[in-house]
């Protein structure tokens, strides 16, 4: 039976994003987020760069959806789950500061 809640840490915004996903995408997203617990840097993820940011921020794709997360002490912290397009990463700096 699929889990209803991922094991990785999610910010309140990311939890709200996850709840808004369609059911089938939500289940797949939970599985992907759980995989990040075991391997926070899968080959399919991409490191994002932000001027002045020293922490490691990554993006993982799942179809049209993007999981934006940072790695703290080798554990993922999910910042947001967004649909692309139209998501263009403009709020990335704001997400990190929260």
- Provide the CATH number for the domain around residue 65: 3.30.2310.20
Q: Which domain holds residue 38?
A: 9-97
| β strands within the chain, DSSP E | 9-10, 46-48, 56-62, 65-72, 75-83
Residue 4 lies in a domain: no
Residue 1 lies in a domain: no
Residue 89 lies in a domain: yes
Q: What is the pLDDT of residues 10-40, one digit of tens each?
A: 999 999 999 999 989 999 999 999 999 889 9
Query: Is residue 1 scored above 60 in pLDDT?
Result: no
Residue 86 lies in a domain: yes
Q: What's the chain's average pLDDT?
A: 86
pTM of the model: 0.83
Say how many domains are in the chain: 1
């Amino acid at each position: 039976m699929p889990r209803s809640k991922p094991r990785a840490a999610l910010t309140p915004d990311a939890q709200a994003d996850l709840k808004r996903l369609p059911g089938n995408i939500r289940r797949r997203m939970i599985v992907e987020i759980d995989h990040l617990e075991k391997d926070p840097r899968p080959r399919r993820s991409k490191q994002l760069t932000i001027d002045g940011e020293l922490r490691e921020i990554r993006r993982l794709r799942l179809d049209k959806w993007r999981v934006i997360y940072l790695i703290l002490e080798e554990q993922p912290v999910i910042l947001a789950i967004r649909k692309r397009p139209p998501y263009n990463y403009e709020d990335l700096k704001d997400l990190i500061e929260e």
